[in-house]
């Protein structure tokens, strides 16, 4: 996500082209995810340690390259806003839904689309199966390594897109560590959303609302410290883990490497 944000801003500054910037951000996220896939899938490294290492790589790489980006002191092109006509004049819902950038609409479309792919297509069921019972997938003649690589790559591509949205939706520039650990909040949303794309999308909206609330609490003043609002996503996660929002269970082989010699 961080590398996607940096790459998107860099390409936007150089080319002044929004589409190229988004594509570059997606590709950058995918390339970084392949490093993780090689270490975690091919080399069967510990996924937590490997993920932490990739995060450090992304942070260090963007910090090293940031001075070159700061040399171009201008704001980049932004995600275009879709003109929904009279729909944006609908009270309350109009500005919330129909007066948004193309990035918001991409998220709204990709969420149900991903759910359909994962739950209604043979390929999606195979992808889910490598997280539940990889030996059964191998027995069926499918490549567990290939499917896991594809899963990690898709995650990286979408993370790169998320980084582009973060940097190019409203801000138009890149700052050091601008993701501010939002990736970990995404993991929290995954737990609250019970590993279901639709519920996960709703959880992301709730967490985003909490983040927006703390920003406005700082701007307009609040009786409670803004840190209280920052805690809301994590409090929701604790509530989910405690079973207060229903039972949530990760895939059975979550974070477990696959060893084909033991299949």
Name the residue among 194, 36, 30 with its Cα closest to residue 115. 194
d(CA 244, CA 248): 10
The reported pTM is: 0.88
Q: Which residue has the higher pLDDT, 187 or 43?
A: 43
CA distances from 106 to 53, 82, 101, 165, 208 (A): 30, 11, 9, 10, 16
- Report yes or no on 261 lying in a domain: no
Q: Which residue has the higher pLDDT, 120 or 210?
A: 120
Boundaries of domain holding 165: 1-180
> 187 and 164 share a domain?
no
Residue where a domain stops, chosen among 180, 210, 234: 180
CA distances from 232 to 158, 211, 228, 235 (A): 25, 9, 7, 5
H helices present in 71-196, as ranges: 93-97, 102-120, 122-132, 134-139, 144-168, 182-192
> 96 and 151 share a domain?
yes
> 200 and 169 share a domain?
no
Q: Which residue has the higher pLDDT, 113 or 88?
A: 113
Helices and strands, counts by H and E, the chain: 12, 0
> 101 and 192 share a domain?
no
Contact 245, 192 (CB under 8 A): yes
CA distances from 22 to 4, 32, 59, 150 (A): 8, 16, 20, 20
> 167 and 220 share a domain?
no
Q: What percent of the chain stands above pLDDT 90?
A: 45
d(CA 112, CA 121): 13
Name the residue among 204, 230, 203 with its Cα closest to residue 217. 230
> 196 and 86 share a domain?
no
- Report yes or no on 114 lying in a domain: yes
The sign of the dihedral angle between the CA atoms of 202, 208, 212, 217 is: positive
- Report yes or no on 254 lying in a domain: no
What pLDDT, on the 0 to 100 scale, is given for residue 103? Answer: 87
Name the residue among 253, 130, 257, 239 with its Cα closest to residue 189. 239
Give the total number of structural domains in the chain. 2
What integer is the mean pLDDT of 105-133?
93
> 144 and 173 share a domain?
yes
> 156 and 197 share a domain?
no
- Report yes or no on 263 lying in a domain: no
Q: Which residue has the higher pLDDT, 60 or 76?
A: 60
- Report yes or no on 9 lying in a domain: yes
- Report yes or no on 16 lying in a domain: yes
Q: Is the pLDDT of residue 117 over 90?
A: yes
- Compute the mean pLDDT over every residue in the chain, rounded to the nearest whole number: 87
Lowest mean pLDDT among 25-39, 101-115, 183-197: 183-197
- Report yes or no on 34 lying in a domain: yes
Name the residue among 112, 113, 110, 81 with its Cα closest to residue 98. 81
- Report yes or no on 252 lying in a domain: no
> 189 and 155 share a domain?
no
Max distance between CA atoms of the chain, in angstroms, equals 61
Residue where a domain stops, chosen among 180, 198, 219: 180
**Band of the pLDDT at 79, cuts 50, 70, 90?**
confident
Q: Which residue has the higher pLDDT, 140 or 91?
A: 140
Lowest mean pLDDT among 19-23, 58-62, 198-202: 198-202
What pLDDT, on the 0 to 100 scale, is given for residue 241? Answer: 66
> 130 and 202 share a domain?
no
d(CA 26, CA 49): 24
> 139 and 219 share a domain?
no
Q: Which residues contact 15 (CB under 8 A, 6 or more apart)?
A: 21
Q: Is the pLDDT of residue 145 over 80?
A: yes
> 187 and 197 share a domain?
yes
């Amino acid at each position: 996500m961080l590398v996607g944000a940096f790459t998107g801003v860099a390409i936007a500054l150089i080319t002044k082209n929004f589409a190229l910037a988004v594509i570059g951000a997606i590709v950058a996220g995918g390339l970084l995810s392949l490093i993780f896939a090689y270490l975690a899938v091919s080399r069967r490294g510990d996924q937590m340690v490997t993920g932490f290492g990739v995060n450090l790589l992304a942070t260090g790489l963007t910090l090293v390259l940031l001075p070159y980006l700061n040399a171009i002191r201008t704001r980049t092109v932004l995600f275009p806003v879709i003109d929904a006509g009279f729909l944006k004049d609908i009270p309350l819902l109009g500005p919330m839904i129909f007066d948004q950038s193309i990035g918001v609409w991409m998220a709204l479309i990709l969420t149900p689309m991903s759910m359909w792919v994962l739950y209604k297509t043979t390929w999606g069921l195979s992808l889910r199966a490598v997280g539940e019972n990889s030996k059964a997938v191998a027995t069926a003649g499918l490549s567990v390594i290939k499917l896991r690589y594809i899963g990690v790559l898709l995650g990286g591509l979408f993370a790169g897109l998320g980084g582009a949205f973060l940097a190019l939706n409203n801000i138009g520039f890149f700052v050091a560590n601008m993701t501010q650990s939002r990736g970990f909040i995404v993991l929290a949303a995954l737990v609250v959303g019970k590993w279901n794309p639709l519920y996960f999308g709703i959880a992301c909206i709730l967490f985003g609302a909490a983040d927006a609330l703390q920003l406005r609490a700082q701007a307009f003043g609040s009786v409670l410290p803004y840190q209280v609002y920052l805690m809301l996503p994590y409090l929701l996660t604790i509530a989910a883990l405690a079973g207060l929002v229903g039972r949530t269970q990760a895939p059975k082989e979550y974070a477990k490497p696959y060893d084909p010699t033991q299949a």
